Homo-oligomer: A and B are copies of this chain.
Amino acid sequence: MEVINSLESEVRSYCRSFPTVFDTARGARLFDQEGRSYVDFFAGAGALNYGHNDPALKRRLLAYIESDGITHGLDMATTAKEDFLACFAERILEPRELQYKTQFPGPTGTNAVEAALKLARKVTGREGVVSFSNAFHGMTLGSLAVTGNGFKRRGAGVPLHFGDAVPFDGFLGEEIDTLDVLEAMLDGGSSGMDPPAAVIVETTQAEGGLNVASDAWLRRLQTLCRRFGSLLIVDDIQVGIGRTGPFFSFERAGLDPDLVCLSKSLSGYGLPMAIVLIRPDLDAWEPGEHNGTFRGNNPAFVTATAALDYWQDDRLEREVGEKAIVLRSALESIARAHPSLKATVKGIGLIQGLSFEDARIAGRVSRLAFERGLLLETAGPDGGVAKVMPPLNIDEVAFKDGLRILSAVVDEVVEDPKQ
C-alpha cells in the first residue's frame, strides 16, 4: 500500500475502506496480494453485475484482442460497434417494443448524463432540470448540479446552476405524495420554479440510500413530465441491466422514458462504456455536437455484446428475483435478531441493505466485514445503510458465505460496540 499512499492523491477513497492490494478476481471472489479471498457484495459499485472476469466474456475479449480488432475507434463505424448495436436492438429493445437511437458519449456514467442533459435542453429550449433529493448522477459539472449530496456539491468549487431539487418519493414521510409538491410548483407559472427541460430520476436511488420509488409515483412523474413539456430521463446507470430483475429498472412501472442513461454493467466485464438511449424524434443532435476521445472503446463493445447472451431468455431475471427473496429474508432476520439497532431493510432486487438508526453502525459493519473477507459498501447521505449488491450471477456458495459473514459481523458489532 505504500506506493499508493505516497503517490496517489488524497482523493483516493475505497482503498481506505478496503486497505489491501487486490490482485486477481473471478466471479464473486477477489484475491489480494497475500492470497486472501473476499466475497464480493459490492460488485464494482454496480459495474460487475456478471461478476469478475466472466469466462464467456473473457474468451470473446481475448479473441478480439488477439485478432487485432480495432481497439480505439472514436465514433468511426467498426465491426464491434455494428455487432453491439444490432444485438442490443434484437435482444433488448425489440422484445420490449422500445425504439431508441443510441448515442455513444464518453465511456462513463457522468458523460452519459451530461449528454442527456444537453440534448434535453436543446430539444426543449429550456435550461433547468429537476432532480431529486439524494440523487446521484455524477461528478462533472453538469451532472453534479443534479446530484444531491452536499459534500460532493461543495467539491464543485462553484455554485451549481440549472438544477432544481425536489423531494424524492417518500422523502416527506408516508403521508405526503411528494409529486404534489412538484406539480404545485410547476402549475400556474408563478411559483418561481421555471418549467424544466427535463426531470432526471433513478427509479431506485442507490448512492442515496436504497430508496425505491413506487410504481405509481414513477408513472405519475412521467405523466407530469408529459403535461409540462419536460423530458423524462431515467438514469439507469446503477440499477439498470438486471440489478432489480428486468433489464431496465423502469420496466416494473411500465415507463416509456424519453432518454435513458446506461453505463456501469453495460460492458459486462467492467470495461468503461456508456450509452444514451434517445427517443428517435428527439435525436436532434448535429454531427459532432457532443464528442469524446474514448466513445469508441471497442473491447467494451465486444464484451457488451457477449453479455447480451444473458438476456436471450428470462433466466437471469428470474434468478435475480429468487435471490432477492433470499436476500430480503436474510436481512430481515438480521434486523429482527437485533431490535436494539432499529434496522430496517431497504432496496429491491439485488440491491438491498440494512439501514441503521445509528448511521455509524453501517460503517463498522463494512469495516469488520472486510476483515472477515466480505466486501460491502455503505450508502445514504450519512452512510447509514449497509448495502448488499452482489453480482447477479453469484454462485450459491459465495452468496451464502457472504450472508453468513454479514450476519456474524452484525452480531460482533452489537456485542462489542467499540468495533
Contact = CB atoms under 8 A, between A and B. Distances in A.
Contact of A293 (B10, B21, B70, B263): B263
Contact of A4 (B46, B81, B143, B159): B81
Interface string A30-45: 1001000000000011
Interface in A142-165: 142-143, 145-153, 155-165
A122 interface: yes
A7 B190 contact: no
Nearest to A118: B157
Copies of this protein in the assembly total 4
A224 interface: no
A316 interface: no
A58 interface: yes
B271 A9 contact: no
Interface stretch (A82-90, A249-257, A339-347, A402-410): A82-90
Which residue, of A14, A147, A160, A172, has the highest number of chain B Cβ atoms within 10 A?
Answer: A14
A128 B158 CA distance: 9
B106 A110 contact: yes
Contact of A271 (B53, B72, B145): B72
A174 interface: no
Contacts of A12: 75, 104, 287
Contacts of A44: 72-74, 293
Interface residues of A, number: 148
Given A141-B141, A159-B162, A11 B184 contact: no
Contacts of A4: 77, 81-82, 85
A193 B165 contact: yes
A189 B134 CA distance: 9
A264 B295 CA distance: 12
A410 to B, nearest CB: 23
16 contacts: A12-B104, A19-B77, A22-B70, A24-B69, A44-B74, A107-B272, A121-B157, A133-B190, A140-B140, A141-B141, A158-B159, A158-B162, A171-B184, A171-B191, A176-B176, A272-B272
Interface of A: 1, 3-4, 7-16, 18-26, 30, 33, 44-48, 52-53, 58, 61-62, 65-79, 81-82, 85-86, 89, 101-111, 114-115, 117-122, 127-128, 131-135, 138-143, 145-153, 155-165, 167, 171-172, 176, 180-181, 184-185, 188-194, 197, 208, 237, 263-264, 269-272, 276, 278, 283-294, 297, 299, 381-382
